[in-house]
Amino acid sequence: MDVTPITAIQRKERAEANGGAPTLEFDRQVPYDRYVRASTLHSLQSTLSDDPGEMSFLMISQVMELYFGLIRYELRTAQSLIAADEVWDSLAPLRRAALHLEALNASWQGLRWMTPAEFNRFRDLLGEGSGFQSAMYRHLEFTLGLKSEQLIRPFRRQSEVHAELRESLDTPSLWDEVLTLLVRRGLAAGPEQAVDAWVTVYADTGPGNHLRLLGEALTEVAQRFGDWRYHHLQSVRRAMGAKAGSGGSAGLVWLERSMARTVFPELWTARTFM
């Protein structure tokens, strides 16, 4: 990335030289585009039809893909900090992840216009393409602890993608790291005692109890992720009803089954005993 750094003094000098107006002359590509790669991003929309609604469907799908990667990045950052016993520091990336999930959920609003008739105008052209085949979404699920060997099978012909998913599948998840933390802190002898451990953690309501704050930050992430799955279900129901999914699944039935897989299950179960 070829971006030339400048200092606060240089920014002030430039503003004074410009009389307060933005700089309008550059000797090459504008710095914003060199950093954000906006021209590249806006070249990635290749619709398969002339239907104007397809552009919304395609771009919102791409926006969601970017958010999947961002949320996973934050969760993995938090995971590394938890592994290093830096519980307090892990709260910031978890909070950011929850906020990014809110923004991801808001993306569904851009598809509320789509009736079954409008979706059908371009749906057949998508072939067997399905959100089920999102590799980054699988990385996100695996990071959260929702792991399934069969879900990496569709990528076997993409060796690099498959290898990355295999590594993600075999690597401890964020939740695995949290359970290890509870053992390390002497609150559980093993993962099977996680429910009791969380009950003990929440019994201490003091401001210095960072583990309770961690529990709440994780709960927020899990809830917002659950919201995304629900919005996905509702969006599919609205656009195609109970039709078979494009990727070979039973559509709504498959999504409802997927929603039954709980993120951070022991943390939710513990609430019954608090």
**Residue 81 is assigned to a structural domain of this protein:** yes
Q: pLDDT value at position 227?
A: 94
Distance, in Å, from the CA atom of 151 to the CA atom of 254, rounded to the nearest integer, reads 13
**Cβ(205)–Cβ(212) under 8 Å?**
yes
Q: Is the pTM of this model over 0.85?
A: yes
| pLDDT 10s digits, 92-122 | 999 999 999 999 999 999 999 999 999 999 9
**Residue 37 is assigned to a structural domain of this protein:** no
Distance, in Å, from the CA atom of 204 to the CA atom of 228, rounded to the nearest integer, reads 31
Average pLDDT over every residue of 182-192? 91
**Residue 162 is assigned to a structural domain of this protein:** yes
**Cβ(239)–Cβ(111) under 8 Å?**
yes
**Domain range spanning residue 131?**
56-273
**Residue 249 is assigned to a structural domain of this protein:** yes
CA dihedral 5, 99, 165, 154 (to 10 degrees): -120
Q: Is the pLDDT of residue 22 over 70?
A: yes
**Cβ(143)–Cβ(72) under 8 Å?**
yes
Read off the tokens for 24: 């309008």
Distance, in Å, from the CA atom of 15 to the CA atom of 165, rounded to the nearest integer, reads 48
Task: Give, in degrees to the nearest 5, the angle at Cα 134 between 129 and 140.
Answer: 160
Q: Is the pLDDT of residue 248 over 70?
A: no
**Residue 50 is assigned to a structural domain of this protein:** no
CB atoms within 10 A of CB 145: 20
| pLDDT 10s digits, 58-77 | 999 999 999 999 999 999 99
**Residue 230 is assigned to a structural domain of this protein:** yes
Q: Check which CATH number belongs to the domain holding 104 and give it.
A: 1.20.58.480
**Residue 16 is assigned to a structural domain of this protein:** no
**Residue 49 is assigned to a structural domain of this protein:** no
| pLDDT 10s digits, 140-163 | 999 999 999 998 999 999 999 999
Q: How many domains does the chain have?
A: 1
Average pLDDT over every residue of 193-197? 96
